Structure 1
Amino acid sequence: MASSTVHASPVQRLEHPLLGASLGSQKTLVSFHYGRPDARPKVYIQASLHADELPGMLVCHHLRQHLEQAALAGRLSGQVVLVPVANPLGLAQRLNHKALGRFEFDTGENFNRHYPDLVQAVWPAVQGHLGADAQANVAAVRQAATAWLNSWQPTSELESLRRELLLLAHDADRVLDLHCDAQAALHLYTEEACWPAIEPLARLLGCQAVLLAKDSGGGPFDERLSGLWWQLKEKLESAGEDWPLPQACASTTVELRGEAEVSHALAQQDAQAIWRYLEHMGVLTRDEPTASRALPALPCAATPLAGSQTLRTTLPGVLVFLARPGERVRRGDVVAEVIDPSAPAASRVHRVLAEVDGMLYATVRERYVCAGGEIGKIAGATPFRTGDLLGA
């Protein structure tokens, strides 16, 4: 599955053919490359891994214009790899005129789960071979990850997509995975070890909620990349090899509000925030004095993903929200009502209450819910959940 170059330097457009799932059918992943392939820092940005979450695609459209101008002007001191359509498989999935891009039809698997465990993949190659030079250790781990990914022979279309995305991103210093929720305030997820490096991005985007976890479970794309480093460090220490190994990749899943919030104004705003983050990192040379580019204040405090309450209803009915994404609620507040218009008068309204103080950062789009259905999420400050912390 060799990649083909379609556009010349200083900007490259590469096509990555995927394994065909059926006779006469083959999909292609497209990536754009800005800057020298050996330049640092390297930032990898992708959009719409959940293929029905479209705001990130438009952000990439506007970001491409900035990056192309910067490349032509010689302003790139690092490199950026941009994948504006990260899931051509899910993008083609439609049923009864409705896009269904979160789960693969064939396996039922979430497109953003079940990525291979790179720690277990590289451990045999690096155990006993690292030393006192931190940067040499980083290079050795990246080389081992590259070798393992190159040796992986996918047996399905979905596996081939996962492999190509990891090959493009595995050696990046930063990974930005652009998603959105059904209806939401702008928020992001990141691992605890990544937060110092991702915090400036949260400021620039104006995130209204930040959810932190050490390991949220399920093997999502972003955490397989950043988790490699802190998990490998722990594994080395457990084996008595306490060599320096920095957190060489910081990754984040950025939730760009709701599915319907696809507008040039918002996309340009978000693209500009990412652009400023690239400047902050030193990927781009600045076009203004540093003093004029001070980071804005962070609109929220980071909270543990384990402290996020998933709101559910115990009864079916018509869903009416009394609070909107971006609003703070307190324990005991009525967030929504679920109304059964066919029930006796005394039982036709069921109230869904907040069980934690915090930000209502996401809600469902549907306005009819079944018993046990999820209706929203509140970012609370006190951890209370364990196990896999991500939804389906």
Structure 2
Amino acid sequence: MPREILDIPLANGAPGSRRSVRMIRYGAADTRPKAYIHAALHADEAPGLLVAHHLVEALDAADMRGEVRGQIVVVPYANPLGLAQFVNGDHLGRFDLASGRNFNRHWPALGKELTSRLAGRLGNDREENVVLIRRAIRDLLEERRGGLEVDSLYTTLAREAFDSDLVLDLHCDDEGLMHMFAQPEIAADLTDVAAELGCRAVFSQPASGGSTFAEACVEPWLKIAASFPDKPVPTACIAATVELRGFIDIDDELAVGDIAALMNSLRRRGYLAGPARPSPAPLCDVTGFDACDIVRTPVFGIIVYRTELGETVTDGQPIADIVNPHGIGEEARITVRARTDGVVVTRRLKKLVAANQVIAKVAGARALAHRKGYLLED
């Protein structure tokens, strides 16, 4: 069937400024398997916007050839609120200016309420349980009303994504290599996608207090399975946060390569007809995010990097010098060092930093004792 374009209005905006989310659906709304891919939830992270543009072009062509077999939903810009946030010429798309909320934190955890609703209703048939849980997820989200405009955005995206089989949330870092985040229970199920995209790190991160969009997609299944261990409940939604390199890595050649990877993954998983080429060998193992050294500067100053993006470093190796513009002589420079062996997967784009800001991430292989609590940056 031809694609369907939906413009879904958000509630609770100011008069005269109503916003909407555009969704493009390939295949019928009740078709399985269902994939959901959206871009720029952090609205200033533009690489995903270009990738989504090329993905729609590729899926249009596949649709014309009759190749769509499952259901694929593309949201070219997931965050119209953040997309419009220009302040004195600067785009501020990571946080909602009205509420201060990070757009990729505090997504609704539905598992507890769903567990209560499903008590006594699950059976011994795995597939019937999946259908029942997905219906309960949809019903619960349909009941949600009220709140701020950002709450309406959350509910609108969750209604379309949370019942999907596959969810890819496209982001980017400052300066970065391609990498991915996924929960440990499902990370192995995404190794082919990570290999296709050429990920240099795949971080397995348990869900914690500041639930991301991808975590919230998976949370109901894990919670329900843990609450009813005697019933067959698979993790029927596989979701990942994909970091499409860095802010400035935006051009058609890169995006077209990413689309070739995504389209091949969709073919392999049955969303598109036709043979998929063999998955390439992965460039990295799945590692815990607690094995990633988040390198911070202890002082205010100017970053002068001593390592390149993608460079392999050793524990204690200098990552950068921080130059204090107020300092004189040797006191003007403080060296920041790696605290693990690994690969430099990200660096900071803006080189003037305040104390305690992140200037790099080093992806290692062993858990680090100093990594405690919630692991992501705000």
Matched with 1:72 is: 64
Query: 2:114 touches 2:220 (CA, 8 Å); kept in 1?
Result: no
Which of 279, 282, 285 aligns to 1:298? It is 282
Structure 1 CA distance for aligned equivalents of residues 322 and 372 of structure 2: 28
Structure 2 CA distance for aligned equivalents of residues 130 and 95 of structure 1: 51
Is 1:86–2:72 an aligned residue pair? no
Partner SS for 1:211: strand
Deviation digits for residues 271-307 of structure 1 (CA, Å, limit 9, x no counterpart): 1110000011011111x4x5xx111110111110112
> Structure 1 stretch 214-223 or stretch 169-178: which is displaced more?
214-223
Letter paired with 2:255:
A
Partner SS for 1:69: helix
Is 1:350–2:334 an aligned residue pair? yes
Query: 2:12 touches 2:152 (CA, 8 Å); kept in 1?
Result: no
Q: After TM superposition, which residue ranges in structure 1, 4 or more long, deviate above 6 angstroms?
A: none
Matched with 1:272 is: 260
Q: Which structure 2 segments of 5+ residues have no match?
A: none
Structure 1 CA distance for aligned equivalents of residues 173 and 34 of structure 2: 27
Alignment of 1:52-63 (within 5 A): 52-63=44-55
Aligned residues: 376
Is 1:388–2:374 an aligned residue pair? yes
Query: 2:217 touches 2:239 (CA, 8 Å); kept in 1?
Result: yes
Structure 2 CA distance for aligned equivalents of residues 128 and 391 of structure 1: 40
Which of 165, 183, 200 aligns to 1:191? It is 183
Give 1:351 deviation, angstroms.
0.5
Shift in CA distance, 46/79, structure 1 to aligned 2, threshold 3 Å:
same
Give 1:325 deviation, angstroms.
2.3
Is 1:244–2:232 an aligned residue pair? yes
Structure 1 CA distance for aligned equivalents of residues 328 and 45 of structure 2: 39
Give 1:101 deviation, angstroms.
0.3
Matched with 1:138 is: 130
Alignment of 1:28-43 (within 5 A): 28-43=20-35
Give 1:217 deviation, angstroms.
3.6
Structure 1 CA distance for aligned equivalents of residues 184 and 6 of structure 2: 33
Letter paired with 1:253:
T
Matched with 2:317 is: 333
Matched with 2:354 is: 370
Letter paired with 1:246:
P
Letter paired with 2:220:
L
Structure 2 CA distance for aligned equivalents of residues 216 and 266 of structure 1: 33
Shift in CA distance, 204/216, structure 1 to aligned 2, threshold 3 Å:
farther
Query: 1:342 touches 1:348 (CA, 8 Å); kept in 2?
Result: yes
Letter paired with 1:98:
D
Deviation digits for residues 207-260 of structure 1 (CA, Å, limit 9, x no counterpart): 0111101224411111111122122211223xxxx1000110000000001111
Structure 1 CA distance for aligned equivalents of residues 222 and 139 of structure 2: 20
Partner SS for 2:60: helix
Query: 2:12 touches 2:146 (CA, 8 Å); kept in 1?
Result: no
Shift in CA distance, 166/194, structure 1 to aligned 2, threshold 3 Å:
same
Letter paired with 2:108:
P
Matched with 1:220 is: 212
> Structure 1 stretch 262-271 or stretch 379-388: which is displaced more?
379-388
Deviation digits for residues 4-24 of structure 1 (CA, Å, limit 9, x no counterpart): xxxxx5100001000142121
Structure 2 CA distance for aligned equivalents of residues 59 and 310 of structure 1: 27
Letter paired with 2:247:
E
Deviation digits for residues 191-214 of structure 1 (CA, Å, limit 9, x no counterpart): 111112211000100001111012
Give 1:341 deviation, angstroms.
4.1
TM-score, length-normalised on structure 2? 0.97
Structure 2 CA distance for aligned equivalents of residues 108 and 350 of structure 1: 33
Matched with 2:18 is: 26
Deviation digits for residues 16-50 of structure 1 (CA, Å, limit 9, x no counterpart): 00014212110010000001222211100000000
Query: 1:184 touches 1:362 (CA, 8 Å); kept in 2?
Result: yes
> Structure 1 stretch 16-25 or stretch 340-349: which is displaced more?
340-349
Letter paired with 1:391:
E
Partner SS for 2:284: coil
Deviation digits for residues 286-343 of structure 1 (CA, Å, limit 9, x no counterpart): 1x4x5xx111110111110112111111122111111122222110110111012431
Structure 2 CA distance for aligned equivalents of residues 371 and 28 of structure 1: 39
Structure 2 CA distance for aligned equivalents of residues 100 and 13 of structure 1: 28
Structure 2 CA distance for aligned equivalents of residues 371 and 69 of structure 1: 50
TM-score, length-normalised on structure 1? 0.93
Letter paired with 2:268:
H
Matched with 1:283 is: 271
Percent of residue pairs identical: 37
Letter paired with 1:334:
P
